[in-house]
Amino acid sequence: MEKFQPVRGTRDLIGEDFRRHQAVVDTARQIAALYGFEEWATPIFEETRVFSRTLGDTSDVVSKEMYSFEDRGGDSVTLRPEGTAGVCRALVSNGLTQSNLPRKVFYAGPMFRYERPQKGRYRQFHQIGCEVLGAAEPLADAEVIACGYHILKALDVAEGVVLEINTLGDTPSRDAYRAALIEYFKAHAEALSMDSQVRLDKNPMRILDSKDEGDKKIVASAPTIAEHLTPEAAAFYAAVKKHLDRFGVPWRENPRIVRGLDYYSHTAFEFITDRLGAQGTVMAGGRYNGLVEEMGGPATPSVGWAAGIERLSMLLEEPPAADRPVAVVPMGAEAEDAALDMVQALRLSGVAVDIAYKGNFKKRLERANKLNAIAAIIIGESELAEGMAVVKNLDAGTQVRVPADEVMPALAEIGVDGAVFDELMDDMGEGDEEE
């Protein structure tokens, strides 16, 4: 039979891959909490118009990357290509647009885009993201960026990652800039890619983000927004940079950053690295002042970013270690019964335990070693008869013989401490008396 394979552009996360992924999410979640972000989970699919109306017709995502389909009821739904639109939709749907603003939201989960798969680019990929909803102040931009930077630091991947920032200005700045860009690109129209010729009419700023090599050459000499900023937009940008300095976040300006989605204004930024080949953007975002209105809510100026978990995982130096269980190894059927009592008592004390379902002593020890067990608890015939157990340190090869109800202290000597259990009991308000 032909072996099934995962769909092109999707990956299974197993072993070290999963642990890398999980370490990114756990770290990001903890740091985001330090900045006051609460976690939300929104559906993985939405009505298609949640994305089509908001991300922009000329964005790559809407024009060619969405996984959209008609469901059995005839409704058009789309697997979310990004997280921000869903979060904004949720703010509106749940009637949260009026109170407790700004609202600071963290999310993590899978996203779907029909792209050409390559290293660091998948069709199902995963993002973490932070959004500050309902804050017009430049301090919000700086704080959400500082949180992102802090996450990169905590993951120990900030080395070689650079924050590039730009401003897309306010509406009058953009209108003036747009006119200047149209004039410039019109003069080079025949040399532009077909995609960019379409963008020229619809959204010329989009051309700045083109990945076409020919376009990039033309973009290199295009006018920048700096000369077209209104005094207000320039002051906003200056304030963001001032606050970033205060937060200790290093940055550099890149006037070419426009971001891949159409909803941004004012601040746009990317954390980039050359350690990932062509897929060098690890975290990206900006200010989006019109998005919540597009969802039928009131004006809710917001700012946020998203980061690719796969790309961050690749940057992690050391994969986080797998948990090491304790293996309980009985010799003979009678000992196995007693071993089950021990297994379950240890698990109730918060110790991760493996017991093989079958096999002789040798086979069971082999399994313990394959699982990288930290210790084996061996119950042989004489141990069974005398109510004893042998606790073997599998790293050192040393062993002690102790009464069966005293294996916990012996395990503690090896560094196994039942921490999970203590935390659980504390949470339940039943913590046993500690120092």
How many separate helices (H) and strands (E) can be counted in the chain?
A: 16, 16
In whole angstroms, how close is the CB of 117 to ligand ATP at the nearest point? 8
Phi, psi of 111 (to 5 degrees): -130, 160
In whole angstroms, how close is the CB of 254 to ligand ATP at the nearest point? 14
In whole angstroms, how close is the CB of 199 to ligand ATP at the nearest point? 15
In whole angstroms, how close is the CB of 310 to ligand ATP at the nearest point? 5
In whole angstroms, how close is the CB of 307 to ligand ATP at the nearest point? 6
Calculate ∠ Cα 338-344-350, nearest 5°.
Answer: 140
With a CB cutoff of 8 Å and minimum separation 6, the contacts of 85 are: 46, 50, 51, 54, 55, 291, 295
Q: Which of 188, 243, 311, 364 binds ligand ATP (CB under 6 A)?
A: 311
Q: Which stretch binds ligand ATP (CB under 6 A): 30-38, 113-121, 164-172, 235-243?
A: 113-121
Q: Which of 145, 157, 282, 342 binds ligand ATP (CB under 6 A)?
A: 282
Establish if 307 lies at the interface with ligand ATP (CB under 6 A).
yes
Establish if 122 lies at the interface with ligand ATP (CB under 6 A).
yes
Q: Which stretch binds ligand ATP (CB under 6 A): 116-124, 237-245, 375-383, 409-417?
A: 116-124
The tokens describing 375, both together, are: 């210790």
Q: Which stretch binds ligand ATP (CB under 6 A): 72-80, 275-283, 338-346, 400-408?
A: 275-283
> How many other CB atoms are there within 10 angstroms of residue 67's CB atom?
16
Q: Which of 121, 153, 324, 347 binds ligand ATP (CB under 6 A)?
A: 121
Q: How far is CA 352 from the centre of its chain?
A: 27
Nearer to ligand ATP, 276 or 374 (CB): 276
Of the candidates 275, 255, 286, 251, the one whose C-alpha atom is nearest the C-alpha of residue 163 is 251
Write the binding mask 227 to 266 for ligand ATP: x where contact by CB under 6 A, - elsewhere.
---------------------------------x------
Nearer to ligand ATP, 211 or 363 (CB): 211
In whole angstroms, how close is the CB of 173 to ligand ATP at the nearest point? 22
Phi, psi of 425 (to 5 degrees): -65, -40
The tokens describing 426, both together, are: 């504390």
Phi, psi of 374 (to 5 degrees): -85, -30
DSSP assignment string, 240-299: HHHHHHHTT---EE-TT---SSTT-EEEEEEEEESTTTT--EEEEEEEESSHHHHTT---
Establish if 113 lies at the interface with ligand ATP (CB under 6 A).
yes
Q: Which of 54, 58, 78, 127 binds ligand ATP (CB under 6 A)?
A: 127
Nearer to ligand ATP, 66 or 377 (CB): 66
> How many other CB atoms are there within 10 angstroms of residue 13's CB atom?
15
Residue with tokens 């050409």: 116
Q: How big is the site for ligand ATP, counted in residues (CB under 6 A)?
A: 18
List residues binding ligand ATP (CB under 6 A): 82, 113, 115, 120-122, 125, 127, 260, 279, 281-282, 284, 306-308, 310-311
